[in-house]
């Protein structure tokens, strides 16, 4: 499946999209009010934003908040599920890693 943007002028649903911007690891990404953080990341072409214990890239797996593969730090709060959290204008997002010190998942 390939994500695509539908221009507002040709959108048959006639959504009243409100744009927003989140910052991910220092990079601003555009989104639309109502999108999940995972939706904003996927629309920007990012399919992975975390690494597992083995160092492999992780992103959205289940998309319903069961698997915890899409964890991010949002506005200083660790372990936020990107698929369950709606993006808010001005959110500051930091990707997480489970490699290196603390790789057992313990919080500092």
pLDDT given for residue 87 in this prediction: 96
pTM confidence score? 0.76
Domain architecture of the chain: domains with CATH: 18-97 (3.10.20.440)
Q: Answer whether residue 104 shows pLDDT above 50.
A: no
* Token output for 15: 């959504």
Per-residue model confidence as pLDDT tens digits over 18-75: 899 999 999 999 999 989 999 999 999 999 988 888 888 888 999 888 988 899 999 9
pLDDT above 90: residue 13:
no
């Amino acid at each position: 499946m390939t994500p695509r943007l539908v221009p507002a002028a040709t959108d048959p649903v006639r959504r009243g999209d409100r744009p927003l911007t989140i910052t991910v690891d220092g990079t601003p990404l555009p989104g639309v009010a109502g999108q999940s953080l995972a939706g904003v990341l996927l629309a920007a072409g990012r399919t992975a934003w975390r690494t597992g214990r083995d160092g492999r890239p992780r992103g959205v797996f289940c998309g319903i908040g069961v698997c915890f593969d899409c964890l991010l730090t949002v506005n200083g709060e660790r372990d936020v599920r990107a698929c369950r959290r709606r993006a808010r204008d001005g959110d500051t997002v930091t990707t997480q890693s489970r490699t290196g010190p603390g790789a057992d998942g313990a919080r500092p």
